[in-house]
Amino acid sequence: MTEVDQAAPARPRVKAAGPGGWLGRLGEVRHLGLVAALVLLAIVGLVTRPENFATASNLVSILALASTIGVITVGMTFVIIGGGIDLSVGALMALASVWATTLATQSYGPVVIIVCAVLVGTGAGLLNGILIAYGRMVPFIATLAMMVAGRGLAQRMSDQRTQLVQQDNSMIVSLSTTRVLGLPLLVYVFALVVLLGWLLLNRTTFGRRTYAVGGNPEAARLAGIDVRRHTLMLYALSGLCCGIAAVLIMARTTTGSSTHGDLYELDAIAAVIIGGTLLSGGRGTIIGAILGLLIFTVITNLFILNGLNTADQLIAKGAIIVAAVLLQRRTLKTPT
Amino acid sequence: MTEVDQAAPARPRVKAAGPGGWLGRLGEVRHLGLVAALVLLAIVGLVTRPENFATASNLVSILALASTIGVITVGMTFVIIGGGIDLSVGALMALASVWATTLATQSYGPVVIIVCAVLVGTGAGLLNGILIAYGRMVPFIATLAMMVAGRGLAQRMSDQRTQLVQQDNSMIVSLSTTRVLGLPLLVYVFALVVLLGWLLLNRTTFGRRTYAVGGNPEAARLAGIDVRRHTLMLYALSGLCCGIAAVLIMARTTTGSSTHGDLYELDAIAAVIIGGTLLSGGRGTIIGAILGLLIFTVITNLFILNGLNTADQLIAKGAIIVAAVLLQRRTLKTPT
Amino acid sequence: TSNEPAATQQASAPAAAPVAKEGNDAPGEKVVIGFSAPAADHGWIAAISKNAADAAKQYTDVEFRPVEPTNDINQQISAVESLIQAKVNVLVILPNDGQQLNQVSRQAMDAGIPVVNVDRVFPDKLSYRAWIGGDNYGMGVAAGHQIGKTLKDKGVSNPVILEIQGIATLPLTQDRSRGFADALKTYGFTVTAQQDAKFTVESGTQVATNLLQAHKKIDAIWNHDDDQGIGVLAAIKEAGRDEFFMVGGAGSANAMRDIQADSGVLKATVTYPPTMAASAIKIARLIAQGKGMSDLLEQQVPQSITLASETITKDNAAQYLPLGFES
Amino acid sequence: MRHIVKQFPGVRALDGVDLEVRAGEVHCLLGQNGAGKSTLIKILSGAHEPDEGEVLLGGAPVRLAPPTAAMGHGIATIYQELDLVDGLSVTENIFLGHEPATFGFSRRAEADRATAALLKRLGHGEIRPRAEVGSLSPAHKQIVSMARALSHSARLIIMDEPSAALDHDEVGNLFRVIRDLTSQGVAVIYISHRLEEIREIGDRVTVLKDGRTVAVGLAAKDTPTSRIVALMTGRDVEYAFPPRPARGAHEGRPEVLRVENLTLPGRFADVSFTIRAGEIVGLAGLVGSGRSEIIEAIYGARRPGGRVVLDGRTVRPGSTTRAVRMGMGLAPEERKTQALLLDHSVAHNITLASLSRYTRPRWLGRLDRRAESAEAERLSRALDIRPPDPRRPIRTLSGGNQQKAVLGRWLAEDRKLLLLDEPTRGVDVGARTELYALVRRLADDGIGVLLVSSEVPEVLGLADRVLVIREGRIVHEAPAGDLDEHRVLDLVMVSTAENPSLEGARHD
Ligand SMILES: Nc1ncnc2c1ncn2[C@@H]1O[C@H](COP(=O)(O)OP(=O)(O)OP(=O)(O)O)[C@@H](O)[C@H]1O
Ligand SMILES: Nc1ncnc2c1ncn2[C@@H]1O[C@H](COP(=O)(O)OP(=O)(O)OP(=O)(O)O)[C@@H](O)[C@H]1O
Ligand SMILES: [Mg+2]
Ligand SMILES: [Mg+2]
C-alpha cells in the first residue's frame, strides 16, 4: 500500500529542523490541510444554508452523529498504526448492542447493560487479537471472519429483530437526550475517549511502542518488546471501543440490532487514512483521524441540508474526497 | 498490514531450496493448503448432500457463480501484488453495466454494448490510476472516492432503476444460457481471463515488474522501471476486468443496475488475501486467489444446499475462514 | 422486538385464516416447497422468512426448503438454480429485484416447476404461476391521503412534508414515492424533501437527525418503514421536536402500540403485510396439489393477488395489533 | 561461547563456533561475507536461538533469547541492518523497550535530556532528540543506533559493521567512544571489513570462515594483514587496487557524461564536471556533503537545475526510466530500501533492470525465462555470490553478497555510465579486491564510472580523477595520484573562509 512517489526518493525528506520541533510541526501542517478542508466545507455550508448550518443545534447534531463512529475510529487508529486492520468493528458494535439488550441482560439494569456491551466488545477484540498474534492469521482475514461471524451471532441472538431498550433502562437513552452545557452526554463520552486515546498514544510507552510494532516489528522485537502481546492488546482496545460505541448507539437509536454499524469498518478506516495514517502502519495521529471523520460527517450533513438526492450525494462525496486529499497535499507542500 | 510473527523474524520461512526451485515450490505448497481446504469442503458437501453436491449441474452452478467475481479477482490480484488496493471494483462493474444498457447504447447492438462496458471499466480504472500514480493519492482513498462516485453516477444514469437487456441484444444473455460441452460460455470467459492473467503475471516482464513495484517501489524506480506508468496500468487492468465482469453480470441477470457488485471489493480482496497474496504487495499468485474465491463460493453453495438460515450461515462462514487459514498454515509447516 | 416470541406466533397464525379452510388444510400429496428471499437483515424481511417457515410448519405434507437469503443478485440466481436442480415441486421467490431474477424464474417454469412470486414482481408473466404482493403504489397513496387530509383539516397551507424512504434503488420505493406524491397532489401539496434510510434503525436516526436540522418547522413526515422508524423516532426525541406528526409504513406491532398509546409524533401507519409470505406458501402448496382456493369458485389458484394497504390509526390499532410484525 | 551451531533452512550458518571475549577489550570478529558473523552476534543478542552449543557469561551458562534476556545480562547490540523505527523520534528509538516511565506514562523530558547527553558523547549534539528518525541520513541513523546501544549501560556491546555508513571523521569519533567504554571495563565485539580499523582499535581477533572458527585470539595490532586475509579467504589474496591507466590516457576519448551547473537548492550548487569513456571519477566528501544527491540528480531521480549530457544527448531530468534507457546504471547507497526486492530470488534481483533483454518476442513482453536464469547464473558465478544458488531469496544472503547482486544488476546489460554510491559498503576484503578489478575492467571496456565512497583510500586507489565536495560544491579537482588521504581530509573539512587559498582550486 505504498504511495507511489517518483520524483523524490521514498524517504520523506521533509525540510528539517528549526526550533519548533520537527514532529510537532509536521503534525500541525498535516492537520492544517484537513482543517482547511473542514473550513472550506463550513463555508459551503454557510453560503448554501446560512440559516441552518451554523446553528448551535446543527453543530451539536454533527458531533452527536460523529460520536459513535468516532469512538470506533480511535480504536481503529491504534490498530492501523500498529500495522494491522480491523474489519470487524461494525459487527462487534452490533453484537455488543444486541447482547446488551437481550431480555436477560436488560433485567439487570443499565449498569449491567453497559458493562455487558463493553465486555462483549473487548472479548471479541481479544479473540481477534489471539487469532492474529498467536494464530498468526493475516489481520484482514481474521477480522473479516470475525465480522461475518459477529453479524451472524448478533442475528441469531436477536432473532433478526430490533431489540428496544426498555423503559426501566432509559438511563442509557438519557446519554443521548440529557444535555450538559448544551451538549448531549454522548458527545462528552466521545470527547473523553478521544482524549484518553490521545494520551495513550502520545504520552505512554504503550502508545509509542505501537508505532514501533507497526513501523518495524522486527526492530520492536529486538528492542525487547513483546510484539505478540502488544498486538493482542491493540485488537482488544479496538474491541473495547466497539463496546463503548455500542452503548452510544443504543442511546441514540434506543435499540440493539444486528444491523447497527453497517459498513462502519470502511468509514472508520477511511477516516483514519484520510487523517494521514499509513495503511502499512507505523505512522499516524488520532487528531488527524478525528478530523477526517468530521469531514465525512459534515459532508453528509451538508448534503441533507441542501436536499441532494442519493445519487448526487454519492457523486459529490467522491469528488470532495479527491479534492480534500489534493488540497491537503498542496497545503503540505507550502507550509505556513 | 504486517503479519505478526514473533518467534521468527517477519519473513515467512518456508522450507527452502533444493533443486526444485524455491519460489516454485513455495507456490505449490501454499496452494496445497487451499486445495486441502477445498477438498475438505467437498467432503462436507458429499456427506451432507450426497444427491446434490457432486452433480455436474451443481458444479457448473458453482463455476458460473464464481465467474463474475472471479474476473474481478484477477485484476485485484495484480493491483494488490503491485502494492495497491482497489475498492472501486464493484462500483465500476455496476457503472459499466448501467452505461452499457442505456437505451442509447443498446440501440447499437450487442457488440457496442460489450465494447462500451469494457471501455467504461478501463476508463474509470485509468482515472483511478491517474489519481494514484500522478495525483499521488493513497490507493485506499482514491479508489474509495471512485467507488462512491461510481455508484452515484450509475444511479444517476439509470435513474435508480434496473435496465433490462433488450430482446435484440439477447446475444449478451446467451453468454449465460448457451452451453458448450456442458459449460455456459461465461465460464469459458472466466477461464480465459484467468489464463491470460496468469500468463501476464508469470511469463512477461509486465508481471515481473508488478512484483518489483509492489515489493519495493523505490528499488523498482532506481532500477529504471517507470513506477508511475506501471501503477497506472495496473489500475487500468483492474478496470478492464470490471468491464468484462460487467458483461458477465449482464448476461447472468439480463440487466444493468447500479446495485450490481455490492461489496464485491471485499469479497475479491478477501479471496486474494486468503490465496496468499500479501496486502502490502510484492507477493502473491493468481491461482491462490482463484482457489480462495472458489472456497468462498463452495461455502455459499454448501449453505444453500443445506438450507442453513442466514445467522447460522454467517457464523459458520466465519468459523470456516478461520479453520481454512489455520489448516493452510498447518500444511505449510509440514509440506509433503 | 424479539423479546416476545408469543407475539410472533400470533402474527402468522391469524393470517393463515383467510386463505386456508378446513378442506384445503387436510393433508394431501407430499410437496417440496423451495423458498428464496433477500437476506433477513431487517424487520420486515425477517418477518417474511419467519412467516413462510411458520406457515410451512403447519402442514405435515409440506417439506420446506429455504435457501441462503442474500442481497447479491448473482447469488440469489445461483440459489434458485440449485433449487431447480434439487427438483422441488414448487418455488416461492421473493426476488431482490424482479427484473434481474426473471430469467432464472423463467427457467424454473420451463422446467415445469411452478413459481409463486412474492411482492417484487417479475416483468414476464411466463416467469411465474401466481403473484401475491403488497400494493406499493397504494401504500404511498394511503400515506398521502392520511397526511393530506389531516393537514387540510388543520387548514395548513404550504406545509413542509418530508419523506424518508427505504432503499432508494428498489422499484418498490419508487412506486411508494410516486403514490405518495400523487395523493398529495390531490390536496395541492408537494413533498418538501426526500432522503433514503436503507431500512435500518441506525440509518433512520442519522438521516432524521440531519433532516430535522435542515427543516426548522415541519408539518408532517412519512417514513416508509416502521423498522427504520424506531431510529427516526429516537432522533426526533433527541432533538426534542414535536410540532409535526408522522405516518409510518409496513405496520410493525411496535408502531401500532405507539399509535395506540398516542404518546409521540407517530399518529398512523400504512400496512404492507409480511403475512403475504405465509399466504404464498399456502398458495404454493395448493398449486402443487392442483387445488383451488376454497372461497373462490375457480378450480385453480388465481394468477395474481394484490393485498390492500390499510391505514392504521389510534382508532383501529387494537384491531390490527395481532397482525403487526415484531420489528 | 562454545561450539555454537545455527542451522537455517538449507544452510548451516554456524558450524561450531567458539568465541571468548574479555572484559575491557575490543574483540574483533573477521570473516568473509556470509561467514556467519552477524548470525553469531544475533545469537549473542538473543535474536536467534542456537541449535547447539552454549553461552557462558562470567563462567555460568546463560540463555540469551529473547532479546530482553540478553539485555538483562548486560548485552547491547548495534545491528548490521539499521533496526530503527522511522515513525518515531530519536529519543523514542533510543529508549524503545526501556523507556523511563511512571505508571506507563513516559517521562519525555528526562528521556530527551538523556538522549541529548548520549548524542553529545558521540559527537553529534546537532541531532535533535525530537527529530523523526525517518528524516535522518543513513549516517545519522547509524549514530542513533549507537546511542541506543550505549543507553543500556551494558557490560558487552556488540557492533556489527558500525563504520560502514560512516566517514573517516565519524569513525574517529566512534573509536574515541569505544576507548572510553573499554576503559570502564566494558567489552566490545567489533565487526568490520576495514582492516585498518581493526589495527587501530582492536585488541584481539577471532576469524570465522564458512561458519567455523579458524583462528582465535590473534593480536590485532601485529598479525600481518596477509595472514588475516589468508585465514578469512583460505587463499592468498593481494589486497590491492588494480593498476590505473597512465595519466592522460583518457584525454582523447569521447565524453560519456557532461554535467553543467547542476543545482538543487539547499542540497548542492553549480556542480560541473565531465567523465570520459574508460575513466573512473571519484567523489570525495563528508557524510551529508551532497554526494548521493548529486548522483541521484544525474540519474534522474531528482529534478535539479542545470544540464546533464550523456554521450552527447541531453538527459531530461525526472525520470530514472529514461536514464536507464540511455545507458546509465546506479548502485544506490542503501541497498535494503533502495535496491533490493528482499522477498525475491537473487536471480530476479539481478535481472530486474535488464528484463527487456530476455523478451521474445519483444512486443509481447514474454519472458524467456531460460535465458534469464542462464544470465543470472553466469553473473552470480562471475561475482562469486555465495551461496552459489541464484534461486535463493536474496534476504537470506549476507550483506556483502547482497551488494554483489546489486552490482550484478548493471552488468547484465551494456552501460555507458555507472554511478556507484558506496559500492563496497559491507563487502569483505577478498570480494572488494574482486569488485575493484571488476570496476576497472568495466572502465577499460569503455564505460564511465562515477564513484562515491566514504573511504578515502578507496576513492584514491580506484579512481583516475577525484572531485572533492564540500557542502554541496566542488572545491577541488585533481588526478587521484596527486592527492593523498591527508590532503583530501583537509580539503573536505576546512571551510573556505579559513582557507581562502582553496578558492583557486575550485573547478569551473
Ligand atoms: N534468515 C536467514 N535464513 C537463511 N539463511 C540465512 C539467514 N540469515 C543468514 N543466513 C545465511 O547464513 C550465513 C551467514 O550469514 P551472516 O549474515 O551471519 O554473514 P556475515 O558474516 O555477517 O556476512 P557479512 O559480512 O556479509 O555481513 C550466510 O550464508 C547467509 O546466507
Ligand atoms: N532523509 C533525509 N532527510 C533530510 N535530509 C537529508 C536526508 N538524507 C540526507 N539529508 C541531507 O541532505 C544532504 C545531502 O545528503 P547526501 O545523502 O546526499 O550526502 P552524502 O554526501 O551522500 O552523504 P552520505 O555518506 O550520508 O550518503 C545533507 O545535508 C543531509 O543531511
Ligand atoms: Mg553481517
Ligand atoms: Mg551518500
Q: Ligand 1, atom 5: nearest CA belongs to which residue?
A: D396
Per-residue pLDDT, D399: 78
Show pLDDT as tens, one digit a residue, over chain D (508 residues).
666 777 777 678 888 888 888 888 999 998 888 888 888 888 888 888 888 888 888 778 888 878 888 888 889 999 877 688 888 999 999 999 888 888 888 888 899 999 999 999 888 888 999 998 988 887 888 889 889 988 988 889 999 888 877 877 788 888 988 998 899 888 999 998 888 888 888 899 999 888 888 888 888 888 887 788 888 877 666 667 888 888 777 778 888 999 999 998 888 889 999 999 999 999 998 877 888 889 999 998 888 888 999 988 988 888 889 899 899 999 998 888 889 998 889 999 999 988 888 887 777 788 888 888 899 999 888 888 878 888 889 988 887 788 888 888 888 778 899 999 988 887 887 778 888 888 898 888 889 999 998 888 889 989 999 999 988 889 999 998 888 888 888 888 755 444 444 333 334 3
- Chain D CB contacts of A21 below 8 Å: 130
| DSSP structure string for B32-84 | HHHHHHHHHHHHHHHHH-TTTTTSHHHHHHHHHHHHHHHHHHHHHHHHHHTT-
Q: Does residue B65 belong to the interface with chain C, where contact is any CB pair within 8 Å?
A: yes
Please tell me if residue A58 touches chain C, with a CB cutoff of 8 Å: yes
Q: What's the mean per-residue pLDDT of chain A?
A: 86
pLDDT for res C97: 85
Q: What is the pLDDT of residue B227?
A: 94
Within 8 A of A164 by CB-CB distance, chain C residues are 1, 3, 230, 254
Find out whether the beta carbon of D37 lies less than 6 Å from any atom of ligand 1. Answer: yes
Under the banding of pLDDT at 50, 70 and 90, the label for residue C11 is very low
| CB-CB under 8 Å, A209 with D302 | no
Q: pLDDT by residue (tens digit) across B232-279?
A: 999 999 999 999 999 999 998 888 999 899 889 988 999 998 888 888
The residue behind cell 495513550 is A200
Give the model's confidence band at B19: pLDDT under 50 very low, under 70 low, under 90 confident, else very high.
Answer: very low
At residue B93 the predicted structure's pLDDT band, cuts being 50, 70 and 90, is very high
Instruction: Report the pLDDT value the prediction gives residue D507, as an integer from 0 to 100.
Output: 40
Structure confidence at residue C6 as a pLDDT band (50, 70, 90) = very low
Spatial distance between the Cα atoms of D273 and D270, rounded to a whole number of angstroms: 10
Cβ distance A253 to C202 less than 8 Å, yes or no, reads yes
Per-residue pLDDT band at B17 (split at 50, 70, 90): very low
Ligand 2, atom 28, residue with closest C-alpha = D288
- Cβ of C40 within 8 Å of Cβ of A155? The answer is yes
CA–CA separation, B65 and B59 (whole Å): 10
Which pLDDT does position B8 carry in this prediction?
36
The ipTM estimated for the assembled molecules is: 0.85
A12 contacts in D (CB within 8 Å)? 134-135
Q: Domain ranges for chain B, please list them.
A: 2-8+25-333
The answer on pLDDT for C231 being more than 50 is yes
- Asked if the C-beta of B310 comes within 8 angstroms of chain C's C-beta atoms, the answer is yes
Among B14, B218, B224, whose Cβ lies nearest the Cβ of D324? B224
Q: What is the mean pLDDT of residues C178-189?
A: 96
Between the CA of D78 and the centroid of ligand 1 the distance, in Å, is 16
- Measure in Å the smallest separation between the Cα of D361 and chain A Cα atoms: 29
Assess C86–B contact: CB distance below 8 Å, yes or no.
yes
Cell readout for D481 is: 595520484
On whether any CB of chain D is under 8 Å from the CB of A14, the answer is yes
Q: Can you state the angle between helices C136-154 and C171-185, rounded to 10 degrees?
A: 30
How far does residue D145's CA lie from ligand 1's centre (Å)? 21
Q: What is residue B144's predicted lDDT score, i.e. its pLDDT?
A: 92
Measure Cα distances from A263 to B59, B283, C38 in Å.
32, 28, 18
Tell me phi and psi for residue B291, to 5 degrees. -60, -45
Exposure string for C23-34, b = 16+ CB within 10 A, e = fewer: ebbeebeebbbb
Per the model's pLDDT, the better-predicted residue between C270 and A283 turns out to be C270
Is the bond preceding D361 in cis, omega lying within 30 degrees of 0? yes
Partner-chain residue, chosen from D45, D89, D135, that has the shortest CB–CB distance to A14: D135
The CA C181 to ligand 3 mean position distance, Å, reads 78
- pLDDT (0 to 100) of residue D249: 77
Residues with CB under 5 A from ligand 4 (ion): D 292, 333
pLDDT of residue C87: 87
**Which residue in D45, D104, D135 is closest to A205 by CB distance?**
D104
Across the interface, whether the CB atoms of C203 and A177 are under 8 A apart is answered no
Q: CA-CA distance, A279 to B52, in Å (whole number)? A: 44
Q: Are C253 and C324 in contact (CB under 8 A)?
A: yes
- B333/D contact by beta carbon, under 8 A: no
C-alpha pair distances (Å), D463 with each of A242, D196, D334: 64, 20, 22
**For residue C105, pLDDT beyond 90:** yes
Q: Which of D132, D292, D302 should be mutated for ligand 2, with most atoms under 8 A from CB?
A: D292
Whether the pLDDT of residue A9 is over 50: the answer is no
Q: What is the residue-wise DSSP string for D53-98?
A: EEEEETTEEE---SHHHHHHTTEEEE-SS----TTSBHHHHHTTTS
Tell me: the pLDDT tens digits for A269-322? 999 988 888 888 888 899 999 999 999 999 999 998 988 888 888 898 888 888
Q: Are strands C245-250 and C220-223 parallel, antiparallel or unpaired?
A: parallel
- CB-nearest partner of B307 from C66, C73, C102: C66
Question: C171 to chain B nearest CA, in Å?
Answer: 7
DSSP C233: H
A227 CA to chain B: closest CA distance, Å? 7
At B194-242, the pLDDT tens digits run 999 999 999 999 999 999 999 999 999 999 999 999 999 999 999 999 9
Domains of chain D: 4-233 (3.40.50.300), 255-493 (3.40.50.300)
Mean per-residue pLDDT, B99-113: 93
For the segment C115-130, what is each residue's pLDDT rounded down to a tens digit?
Answer: 999 998 898 899 999 9
Cα A59 from chain centroid? 19
Of A247 and C295, more confident: A247
Q: What residues of chain A lie within 8 A of the CB of C234, using their CB?
A: 173, 176, 252-255
Q: Residue with the nearest Cα to atom 22 of ligand 2?
A: D292
Nearest residue to C275 (alpha-carbon basis) of C307, C321, C316, C312: C307
Q: Tell me how far the alpha carbon of residue D288 lies from the centroid of ligand 2, in angstroms.
A: 4
Set of cell numbers at residue D221? 595490532
Q: Does C51 touch chain A (CB under 8 A)?
A: no
How confident is residue B4, by pLDDT bands cut at 50, 70 and 90? Answer: very low
Report how far residue D319's alpha carbon sits from residue B227's, in angstroms, rounded to the nearest whole number: 10
Question: Do the chains D and C touch each other, judged by at least 3 C-beta pairs below 8 angstroms?
Answer: no
Sign of CA dihedral D53, D58, D62, D65: negative
Does the CB of C103 have a partner CB in chain B at under 8 Å?
A: yes
Of the listed ligands, the closest to the CA of D166 is 2
The identity of residue D415, as a single letter, is R
Question: Looking at the predicted structure, is the pLDDT value of residue B23 above 70?
Answer: no
Nearest ligand (C-alpha, residue D421):
4
H/E stretch holding D159: strand D156-160
* N-to-C CA span, chain B: 30
Q: Is A11 exposed, middle or buried (0-12, 13-18, 19+ CB in 10 A)?
A: middle
**Does residue D430 line the site of ligand 1, with CB under 6 A?**
no
What are the grid coordinates assigned to A331, written together?
497545503
Task: Evaluate if residue B336 carries a pLDDT over 60.
Answer: no
Q: Please tell me if the CB atom of residue D402 comes closer than 6 angstroms to any atom of ligand 1.
A: no
| C-alpha cell at position C60 | 405435515
Interface of B with A in 21-80 (CB under 8 A): none
Cβ–Cβ gap B68/C85 under 8 Å: no
What's the CATH number of domain B2-8+25-333, 1.10.8, 3.40.50, 1.20.120, 1.10.3470? Answer: 1.10.3470
Model pTM? 0.87
Chain C nearest C-alpha distance from A186 (Å): 12
The values of phi and psi at residue C62, to 5°, are: -110, 130
Answer with the residue of higher pLDDT: A128 or C16: A128
Residues 6 or more apart whose CB falls under 8 angstroms from that of C123 comprise B164, C98, C99, C102
The x, y and z cell numbers of residue B14, run together, are 518456508
Distance, CA D285 to ligand 2 centroid (Å)?
12
Q: Tell me, what's the pLDDT at A22?
A: 41
Residues in chain B with CB shorter than 8 Å from the CB of A4 are 132-133, 136, 217, 227-228, 231
Closest CA to C75 of B35, A113, B253, D262: B253
Interface test with D, best of B204, B218, B222 (most D CBs within 10 A): B222
Q: How far apart are CA D328 and CA D101, in angstroms?
A: 52
Q: What is the pLDDT of residue A252?
A: 92
Q: Which pLDDT score is estimated for A260?
A: 92
Closest approach of A164 to chain C, Cα-based (Å): 6
| pLDDT for residue D238 | 62
Residue of D nearest to A285 (CA): D87
Pocket of ligand 2 (CB under 6 A): A 11, 13, 16; D 135, 137-139, 267, 285, 287-293, 333, 454
Neighbouring C-alpha atoms within 13 Å toward the C-beta of A267: 25
| Contact check, Cβ <8 Å, B224/D365 | no
Contact A83 B1 (CB under 8 A): yes
Biggest distance spanned by C-alpha atoms of chain B: 64
CA contacts within 13 A on the Cβ side of D450: 29
